[in-house]
Amino acid sequence: MRMIKLTPDTKEDLLNALLKRSPNHYSQYESVVADIISSVRQRGDEALFAYTEKFDKCKINASNIRVTREEIASAYQKTDAKLVEAMKHSAGNIRAFHEKQLHNSWFDTREDGSLLGQKITPVGLSGVYVPGGKAAYPSSVLMNVIPAKVAGVKRVVMTTPPDPAGEVYAGTLVAADIAGVDEIYKAGGAQAVAAMAFGTESIPKVDKITGPGNIFVALAKKACFGYVSIDSIAGPSEILVIADETANPRYVAADLLSQAEHDELASAILITTSEKLAEDVNAQVEEFVNRLSRKEIIKKSLENYGYILLAEDMEDAVEAANEIASEHVEILTADPYAVMTKIRNAGALFLGEYSSEPLGDYYAGPNHILPTNGTAKFFSPLNVDDFLKKTSIISYSKEALQKVHKEIELFAESEGLTAHANSIKVRFE
Active site residues: 327-328
Q: Which has the closest alpha carbon to 192: 71, 39, 57, 75?
A: 39
DSSP string, 127-174: EEE---GGG--HHHHHHHHHHHHHHT-SEEEEEE---TTS---HHHHH
Contacts of 356 (CB under 8 A, 6+ apart): 251, 254, 255, 258, 330, 350
Closest by Cα among 265, 125, 132 to 192: 132
Q: How far is CA 407 from CA 364, 404, 414, 415, in A?
A: 53, 6, 11, 13
User: What single DSSP character describes residue 419?
Assistant: H
HSE at residue 250, side-chain half, CA atoms within 13 A, is 1
Q: Please give the backbone phi and psi of residue 45, each rounded to the nearest 5 degrees, phi first.
A: -55, -40
Amino acid in position 281: V
H/E element, 283: helix 275-289
Containing 335, the helix (H) or strand (E) segment is: none
The region, left, alpha or beta by phi > 0 then psi within -120 to 50, assigned to residue 234 is beta
Contacts 24+ apart (CB under 8 A), 229-232: 229/123, 231/144, 231/369, 231/382, 231/386, 232/369, 232/371, 232/372, 232/375, 232/379, 232/382
Q: Which long-range contacts (CB under 8 A, 24 or more apart) does 333-338 make?
A: 333/242, 333/243, 333/244, 333/246, 333/247, 334/244, 334/246
Distance of CA 139 to the CA centre of its chain: 12
d(Cα 40, Cα 360) in Å, to the nearest integer?
36
Nearest to 56 by CA among 171, 190, 181, 173: 190
